[in-house]
Amino acid sequence: MRFETIARGTCSIGATGEQSAWEIRRTEHKQVMDHDSVDAELASYRPLLGATVWETIRPFVHATVAGRCGEYSLGKRRMALIRMTAFAAWLHATGYAQLNEQALNPDLIDYYWHHRRTVVTEQTAKQERKLLRAIAGIAPTIERNLPASRSEVKAPYSESELRDFRRWARWLRIPGHRRDALALLALCAGCGLSAGELMHVRRSHIIQLTDQKLGVTVTVRAPRTVPVLQAWADALAQVREGEPEELVFSPGSRTRNGNQLVNVMRDIHGESKPIAGRLRTTWLTRHLAAGTRLDILLPAAGLKDAISLAPLVQHLAPVGPEAALAQLRLGGDL
């Protein structure tokens, strides 16, 4: 009430340009109210995410919205909170970057935009991209001229980590957990599927291809058929066994979301855990290292263009100068 009384008063700024004492007090009081409003908005927001996922991404989301969106209107700030939560959840699920300031860069936002174009309408995806870039402080008039980001992307899994995951999956005591773990590894590390695609694979989707080896038919997001890497062929064969129309991952779950992925990792010890997005990154990086042509790799990965592969280049094993020369000469004599 006190603030409302002051706000209705008249104000005049003297010839010196200085504000009166009550105007200064009004401004300071409004800043406090705005700060309290942001805190209240953040505290009351409850996204439709698993509790574990939200607790993981919440500090990043809150810090970003509080630090960058305090001057937004209530409606726009709410929308920023929703968009930042979705972006952070995607980063967490895919493992493409750490949840910090470096994640707010044009490359990752564009990568996310390309993903969203396969899920929502083109117009909605553009609106999300525009707001995320505004939150990141990227001016629309110069955003295309900014240098490429050098933000860190989570590295693909090493051979030893993959061996540990395989050993862990095979020794799980509960059959359902063992089945889910093998499906996660065979389809994400062996076929490059995303978490969302994994959730919709049925045993009948695992098929024998023209070379008499196994592959999987993806039916959601970007329908395609992907052959399994030979290292994971035996695991995929085990996943295939059973009722043809049964889902291969967590078939008894009523909902299909990331909570099941969290549940399957409860029995694994150590810091390294098999995350679907990072397993897909490992699959992509291996194909890049092997020299798989982009016109073959992109459709197999369900990607529309190569922009999303740029962050993975830093994780390719370095080659010596002579090997580099040989490649640039297309294998000819030095």
Instruction: Pick the last residue of a domain from 145, 170, 186.
Output: 145
Domain boundaries, position 135: 2-145
Same domain, 116 and 171: no
Stated length of the chain: 334
The DSSP bridge partners found for residue 215 are 207, 227
- Does residue 213 lie within any of the structural domains? yes
Please check whether residues 139 and 196 belong to one and the same domain: no
197 and 116 within one domain: no
153 falls within a domain: no
pLDDT class for 248, splitting at 50, 70, 90?
very high
Closest by CA to 111, choosing from 122, 96, 100, is 96
pLDDT by residue (tens digit) across 304-313? 888 878 888 8
Whether 154 is in a domain gets the answer no
Q: Are residues 53 and 83 in the same domain?
A: yes
Same domain, 174 and 299: yes
Q: Which strand ranges, in their side-by-side order, compose the sheet holding 206-208?
A: 206-208, 214-218, 224-227
Same domain? For 135 and 223 the reply is no
Q: Give this prediction's pTM.
A: 0.57
CATH number reported for the structural domain that contains residue 280 in this entry: 1.10.443.10
Asked if residue 223 and residue 302 are part of one domain, the reply reads yes
Q: How many domains does the chain have?
A: 2
Residue 330 lies in a domain: no
- Whole-number mean pLDDT of the chain? 79
Residue 268 — very low, low, confident or very high, per pLDDT cuts 50/70/90?
A: low
Q: How far is Cα 290 from Cα 123, in angstroms, rounded to an integer?
A: 37
